[in-house]
Amino acid sequence: MLQQAAVSGRILIVDDDERQRTALAGMIADCDFDIQVASDGQEALERLASFSADVIVADLVMPRMDGFELLRQLKERGDLTPAIALTGFGSMEKALSAVHDLKAFWFLEKPVEPRTFKILLERAIHYKRSLQKNDELKRELSLRGVLGDLVGTSPAMQQIFSLIRQVGPTSAPVLICGESGTGKELVAREIHKCSPRGDGPFVAINSAALPEALIESELFGHEKGAFTGAAERSAGCFEQAHGGTLFLDEIGEMPMSTQPKLLRVLEDLRVRRLGGKHEIPVDARILAATSQELGTHLREELYYRLSVFQILVPPLREHKEDIAPIADVILRNLNKKHGTRIAGIDAEVLDLLHRHDWPGNVRELRNTLERATIIAGEGFIRLTDLPSPAFGVGSGRHNTRQSPELDGPLVLRPGQPLMKIDEAYVKLTLEHVGGNRKRAAEMLGISLRTLQNRIAALREEAKATTPGA
Ligand SMILES: Nc1ncnc2c1ncn2[C@@H]1O[C@H](COP(=O)(O)OP(=O)(O)OP(=O)(O)O)[C@@H](O)[C@H]1O
Ligand SMILES: [Mg+2]
């Protein structure tokens, strides 16, 4: 004796065979289901515009738009409605691919057995309900000023959250603009997480941090022997990001000569490794970021291709009301990282944080709090825990500066190694602008790439000279 299904739900049955549709609907007629039918994928999409189904039951082989294409389009839209694929004799491969590649909930072989059909429908409805619950929780959290790792209750940040929620589930390219340290990479990661590709890879490539000669091989990959030093075949970022998201950071630093090649890959969705003969299909959603005016840095066609949608992340000085909530989350994370027990920030420190202009934005805030957390260790962060030059306050409970020569003005004495002066000068300038590399590069009269390379070289040197490193 079949048990009547205990759950209620909305079911859309898609099949070109009218007898099959009627038979399937008949099998569940005694359940508390609201059932609609469609005769192919196209009609199903039209139905879904006004019928919010809990489960879609779709035949895989149909004229006009088949079930496979229907599932592909739903996945592309980020529609997470569970779908059950109906498969006839000999199309098991297709059914498995629908489950594996298109994330169908499961498949059912024809002729459909009523009891299995009901059980599967019930499970799919439960799954849909838990997705909804999860969504509600996420929405509630984001309304309280958190979206993943992004924090912000100001209207400016809330606007960004809602843009992320709108554009995230689509496959549209997004250009994220904002000063250094404002959170562009975090925004990119949240867009990725909100998308149907969220479980896939997130691959970032920063043009400013790579020597020009290496950018193309990093992006497109290379075959063994493609150029001097290419000892092994290597997959490029496009291939690595297959099924996920490729984040092109500092897109304005992408060499002019590489830009048409990049555009071609974006248009053809195929990539050829350097020295390679074959084109490889790529399926990566593209996000790009820039901390500078793109102006003449980006070819027009590429700009239009990448900026279908733009998100402008404001500098921290323009949403200072977020300093307290952001600091709160940062401190919680820092306590975990350093095993400290910081309970919060003194009111007068908070006041000072609000008065500071934060040229290095949230990254500068994070660095300031990290330093203060280590110094204070527990309790509340006090004025004396803040670094002196940027805030014009005391020199700290302990002197934690790693380069004491930077505490005062740079003293030039004859005979000092040029490297040392170089290092001290770069550090001094970076500190002056709160770690904002773009501003530091402008002040030093060098390109952002040169500055990034210099910092990387200094880090390498520091590692090499640190005992035990
Ligand atoms: N709204 C925010 N909430 C919480 N943390 C944030 C927020 N914005 C930025 N951060 C933190 O600030 C730091 C810098 O962020 P991120 O690397 O995303 O900035 P960016 O804009 O990509 O900087 P750059 O241009 O220098 O690459 C990170 O530690 C990040 O976690
Ligand atoms: Mg970044």
The domain limits of the chain are 9-138, 171-314, 317-400, 401-469
Note the pLDDT of residue 391: 57
CATH 3.40.50.2300 fits 9-138, yes or no: yes
- 293 burial via Cβ count (<10 Å: 0-12, 13-18, 19+): exposed
Q: How far is CA 304 from CA 38, 72, 249, in A?
A: 38, 26, 17
pLDDT 10s digits, 413-451: 777 777 777 788 888 888 888 888 888 888 888 888 888
- Whether the CB of 152 sits within 6 Å of ligand 1: yes
Mean pLDDT of the chain: 87
**pLDDT band at residue 388 under the 50/70/90 scheme:** low
Task: Burial-class residue 36 by CB neighbours within 10 Å (0-12, 13-18, 19+).
Answer: middle
**Fold agreement (317-400, 401-469):** no
Residue 356, ligand 1, Cβ within 6 A: no
**How high is the pLDDT of residue 410?**
57
Q: Specify the fold of 171-314.
A: Rossmann fold (3.40.50)
Contact 439, 364 (CB under 8 A): no
> Residue 312 CA: which ligand is closest?
1
pLDDT at 185 over 70: yes
**How many angstroms does the Cα of residue 121 sit away from the middle of ligand 1?**
43
Q: Whose CA is nearest to atom 28 of ligand 1?
A: 363
Q: What CA–CA distance (Å, rounded) separates 420 from 196? A: 49
Question: Rounded distance, CA 278 to CA 220, Å?
Answer: 12
317-400: which CATH topology?
Answer: Helicase, Ruva Protein; domain 3 (1.10.8)
pLDDT at 280 exceeding the cut of 50 = yes
Atom of ligand 1 nearest to the CA of 186: 18
Quick one: pLDDT band at residue 467, thresholds 50, 70, 90?
Answer: low
Query: Does ligand 1 have an atom closer than 6 angstroms to the CB of 178?
Result: yes
Of 9-18, 50-59, 432-441, the least confident: 432-441
Q: Which ligand 1 atom minimizes the distance to the CA of 183?
A: 18
The closest of 81, 32, 25 to 55, measured between CA atoms, is 81
- At residue 206 the predicted structure's pLDDT band, cuts being 50, 70 and 90, is very high
**For residue 180, which atom of ligand 1 is closest to its CA?**
25
Q: What is the pTM of this model?
A: 0.68
- Give strand pairing partners of 85: 58, 107
At residue 203, the pLDDT reads 97
Cβ(361) – ligand 1 distance below 6 Å: no
pLDDT value at 266 more than 50: yes
pLDDT score for 390: 54
| Band of residue 412 on the pLDDT scale cut at 50, 70, 90 | low
> Which helix H or strand E contains 248, and what residues bound it?
strand 245-249
Q: Which of 11-20, 43-52, 245-254, 410-419 has the lowest mean pLDDT?
A: 410-419
pLDDT above 90 (res 39): yes
Residue 428 CA to ligand 1 centre (angstroms): 22
Assess whether pLDDT exceeds 50 at residue 400: no
Please, which pLDDT band fits residue 4 given cuts at 50, 70 and 90? very low
Listed residue (243, 282, 79) closest to 169, CA to CA: 79
Q: Given this model, what pLDDT does residue 92 score? A: 85
Distant-in-sequence, close-in-space partners of 173: CB < 8 Å, separation ≥ 6: 266, 285, 286, 287, 288, 305, 306, 307, 308, 309
Residue 397 has pLDDT above 50, yes or no: no
Top-ranked range on mean pLDDT: pick from 39-43, 75-79, 213-217: 39-43
Query: Does residue 101 surpass a pLDDT of 90?
Result: no
**Would you call the peptide bond into 467 cis, given omega within 30 degrees of 0 as the criterion?**
no
In testing the pocket of ligand 1, which one of 163, 186, 250, 313 has its CB within 8 Å of the most ligand atoms?
186
Ligand 1: residue of 159, 174, 362 to mutate (most ligand atoms within 8 A of CB) is 362
Pick the CATH number of 401-469 from 3.40.640.10, 1.10.20.10, 1.10.10.60, 3.40.190.10: 1.10.10.60
Higher-pLDDT residue of 245 and 462 is 245
Residue 197 Cβ contacting ligand 1 at under 6 Å: no
81: Cα separation from own chain's centroid: 23
Q: What are 312-348's pLDDT values in tens digits?
A: 999 999 999 999 999 989 999 999 999 988 888 888 8
pLDDT at 466: 60
CB distance 359 to ligand 1 below 6 Å:
no
- 233: β partners: none
Region 11-25 average pLDDT: 96
Q: What is the pLDDT of residue 452?
A: 84
Is 70 exceeded by the pLDDT of residue 182? yes
Q: Which of 144, 147, 185, 330 to mutate to test the pocket of ligand 1 (most atoms within 8 A of CB)?
A: 185
Per the CB < 8 A criterion, the answer to whether 436 and 181 are in contact is yes
pLDDT at residue 399 in the model:
34
Q: Is 291 in the pocket of ligand 1 (CB under 6 A)?
A: yes
More confident residue, 175 or 416: 175
Q: Which of 11-25, 363-377, 383-397 has the lowest mean pLDDT?
A: 383-397
Rounded distance between C-alpha atoms, residue 73 and residue 295, angstroms: 36
Give the distance (Å) from ligand 2 centre to CA of residue 203. Answer: 13
Q: What local confidence, expressed as pLDDT, does residue 5 receive?
A: 44
pLDDT in tens, 132-146: 877 777 676 666 788
Least confidently predicted of 244-253, 309-318, 450-459: 450-459
Contact 59, 41 (CB under 8 A): no
